[in-house]
Amino acid sequence: MVDDYTEKQLKDLKDLKVKDIILDSKPRKEKIKTVFSNERVLAEVLDESRELYNQSRYGTLLDNGKLQLSLLEALYLLEKNKIEIADSRGKNLDFEQFLKRATKFEPNFWIRYCVFKDMRNRGYIIKTALKFGADFRVYDRGVKPGEDHARWIIYPVHEGATLTWYDFAAKNRVAHSTKKRLMMGIVDDEGDVTYYEIRWMKP
């Protein structure tokens, strides 16, 4: 009953209600709408899209102002509820649907995504490194592409995969020639990643 409340308790209840109203009145950010077509994910020309690029270097800004995301970036942002992805018919895709389609283009997509996601969650900017002959290049925390060179190149590998000494030596040569550190991201069946950094040593 109301009579059972003290004046202080009633005041505290009123304060809580006021705080709830203030919190609820904060505008919620709308998800950025994107379209998946021809192995590309394109975001609308919006300030929010440019913010994704400017703050965290997601995607590539095109001449027309649109933001083009890689399949890995798109899946990560979809999982984080930052974007919506529609197919060419306008049907929204959920995480599993988009993953299934992306895997058709890249058979090793899930292994690569586990490493991409883990690095992003740790606060690193991770980008593709195809021109270096590697899967990814990774920048130190707080460093954006264009501000400094990448610190590592990373090769995602499933824990059950076989790697020949020739392949291993080739990856070392790529890292050495590009003056970057070589890191192997070993992905287990649960999607957890363990990293091994390999360096050249002179006896």
Residues annotated as part of the active site: 139, 149, 180
Q: Are 201 and 193 in contact (CB under 8 A)?
A: no
Residue whose tokens read 């590998």: 157
In a 3-state reduction of DSSP, which class is residue 61? strand
- Residue of 74, 78, 75, 83 whose CA lies nearest to 29: 83
In a 3-state reduction of DSSP, which class is residue 77? helix
> How far, in Å, CA of 90 to CA of 20, rounded?
37
> How far, in Å, CA of 26 to CA of 45, rounded?
24
Cα distances (angstroms) measured from residue 7 to each of 15, 24, 128: 12, 26, 62
> How far, in Å, CA of 67 to CA of 65, rounded?
7
Question: Which DSSP state fits 130?
Answer: G
